[in-house]
Structure 1
Amino acid sequence: MWRIPLPDEFHRSEGVHVGRMAPNRASRARGVRGRAFTDTGIRIDRRYGFRVTDAASTWCHLAGVLSHDDLVAAGDHLILVPKKAQPGEARPYATIEQLTDRAKSYSGRHARAARRALLDIRQGAESRPESILRLHMMRAGLPEPELNVDVFSASGTFLGRADSLFRDFRVIAEYDGEQHRTDSVQYNKDMLRIEGFVRNRWTPIRVRKGQLFGDPEAAVARVEGALRDAGWRP
């Protein structure tokens, strides 16, 4: 309901999660995963005509089922102020202050995990892979990048938006999705954008899905190599 990006193991066949406030018992029905909430800080919102837990509470509840990186990606998604908002969607779904206040008052079993994740949530990440790539780079000791920054040439021509930008070293780290298979128009736009970066003396490093989720250390090493070539030292 909040469009939170989740890892592949979450799929439709697991059913709908339905909560009731204690002392009411959890719902029991085919296709339903019921739970009884004892968390008194929940607010009720409406999404698509359904009563749902508020975004900040939903994020806290996810602390019990998501890894640290996916919980951070979920938080990045909720606080994002998109460059182009979808019609009818009020963004952000939550502010970092709301997530922080909710995590402080949350008394669930995984409250500590939620509070740890808060430290790594950032404004600007537009996808789960972008968030996960950033976290791998940060853990490796690389400098923290600017997120989804508009890049211009020396003459002021707009070149495109960079996923993760290391401005001082003219290095850009990009997650390369599946556009070449699913959207040829978008893929061509991305190709021209990357060419524009290169012509203007930026070094773009494109990380594919297989490497990010299969060998993230290799992906980070490529970014680190470009930074070192540009003069960065830890």
Structure 2
Amino acid sequence: MTDDVIFRRRALADGVTDSEIRHARNSGRLVRVATGAYVSDEYFAGLDAPALHRVRIAAALQSRPPGVVVSHASAALLHGMDLGDISLERVHLTRNHASGGGRTSGVHVHATPFDADEVVTLGGLPVTAPARTVVDAARISTFDQAVVLGDSALHRRLVTTQEILDAVGRAGPRKGIATARRAAGFLDGRSESPGESLSRIRIRRHGLPSPELQHVLRDGSGAFLGRVDFFWAGSGVVGEFDGMGKYGVDGSQAAVAVHREKLREDAIRDAGYEVVRWTWRDLFDFATVKARYERACARSGHRR
């Protein structure tokens, strides 16, 4: 990663002048990605938001003294956790002190003590360990964001629920710990996507019964029907979140996948179950999903 970043300090030490750097920037051959850090225009063109943030992480560490570690959402990105709609506007770093933090337009340095076992190395960079990362990110996020990130950490087996709870306990009365504690008690690694995590939150907020997650359905003869996102056994209702990309990106492949999914749903209905589906848009108006669920319960031959 750092091989693709040109740091002003190193360039000057190698004999490049500020005038040459300015000329390269003015001509468009160099793009500034952080204070004193540049990449080529070709390299910059190939960077999506997460990749650009990784470059900015490397640049931010170069200008800090030893002992500063990548943390919060920046650490979550490096661990491969789902960030949902958490902003990547700033790089988050933590220094092992009780004071002395600060922020600029591009970097937020947190001043929070940490133990040696709360830091790991990823790609040569010092990064807060998964449990500490989940809790730190949750403390400065909304409940929805904290659950999306924490669920993904559990689903990817980067951390255990107990490790997260222990990290919450070690954090003490830090700012935002109430949100982290509440999220930690709600996390479930069986959620396989941000949409499924948000669906669980909406289900609870709208007073629906708690469903079984990733439930395997079989017909009367024991034949496999499918594994469903949500299942309300008492009412015989299946819930499915239809996220973007669920059916592939290629047109012909998508058509085949949609047809296969229809046959799967037909088999589930033939076995006596009702199916309720919802999309990303429905997550912002979940009352409509609740109404669908209630109508499905009324149609179902199972006892509610």
Tell me if TM exceeds 0.5.
yes
Which residue of 2 is the match for residue 208 of structure 1? 279
From 121, 130, 154, the counterpart of 2:220:
154
Shift of 1:57: 0.8
Shift of 1:61: 1.1
Compared with structure 1, are the counterparts of its residues 21 and 177 closer, same or farther at alpha carbon in structure 2 (3 Å cutoff)?
A: same
From 108, 119, 123, the counterpart of 1:34:
108
1:8 aligns with 2:85: yes
More helix by share: 2
Q: In terms of mean alpha carbon deviation, does 101-110 or 60-69 score higher?
A: 60-69
- The aligned length equals 219
Task: Please provide the CA RMSD for this pair.
Answer: 2.7
Shift of 1:78: 1.6
Which residue of 2 is the match for residue 225 of structure 1? 295
Contact 2:215 2:231 (8 Å CA) reproduced: yes
Which residue of 2 is the match for residue 98 of structure 1? 163
Distance in 1 separating the partners of 2:273 and 2:118:
46
Shift of 1:219: 1.8
Unaligned runs of 5+ in 2: 1-77
Which residue of 2 is the match for residue 85 of structure 1? none
Q: Which secondary structure state, in structure 1, belongs to the residue aligned with residue 241 of structure 2?
A: strand
The percentage of counterpart residues that share the same residue type is 28
Unaligned runs of 5+ in 1: 81-90
From 233, 236, 239, the counterpart of 1:170:
236
Q: Which secondary structure state, in structure 2, belongs to the residue aligned with residue 136 of structure 1?
A: helix
The normalised TM-score by structure 2 is: 0.64
Which residue of 1 is the match for residue 45 of structure 2? none
Distance in 1 separating the partners of 2:279 and 2:213:
18
Matches within 5 A, 1:59-70: 59-70=134-145
Q: Which secondary structure state, in structure 1, belongs to the residue aligned with residue 275 of structure 2?
A: strand
Contact 1:136 1:220 (8 Å CA) reproduced: no
From 135, 142, 146, the counterpart of 1:71:
146
Matches within 5 A, 1:49-128: 49-80=124-155, 91-107=156-172, 108-128=174-194
Distance in 1 separating the partners of 2:99 and 2:207:
48
Distance in 2 separating the partners of 1:15 and 1:66:
14
Larger radius of gyration: 2
Distance in 1 separating the partners of 2:259 and 2:178:
44
Shift of 1:47: 3.0
Compared with structure 1, are the counterparts of its residues 55 and 68 closer, same or farther at alpha carbon in structure 2 (3 Å cutoff)?
A: same
The Cα offsets for residues 169-210 of structure 1, whole Å up to 9 and x where unpaired, read as 221111111235735154444333222212222211110111
Q: Which secondary structure state, in structure 2, belongs to the residue aligned with residue 169 of structure 1?
A: coil
Compared with structure 1, are the counterparts of its residues 170 and 28 closer, same or farther at alpha carbon in structure 2 (3 Å cutoff)?
A: closer
Distance in 2 separating the partners of 1:33 and 1:204:
46
Distance in 2 separating the partners of 1:68 and 1:37:
23
Contact 1:103 1:111 (8 Å CA) reproduced: yes
Q: Which has the higher contact order (CA 8 A, sep 6+)?
A: 1
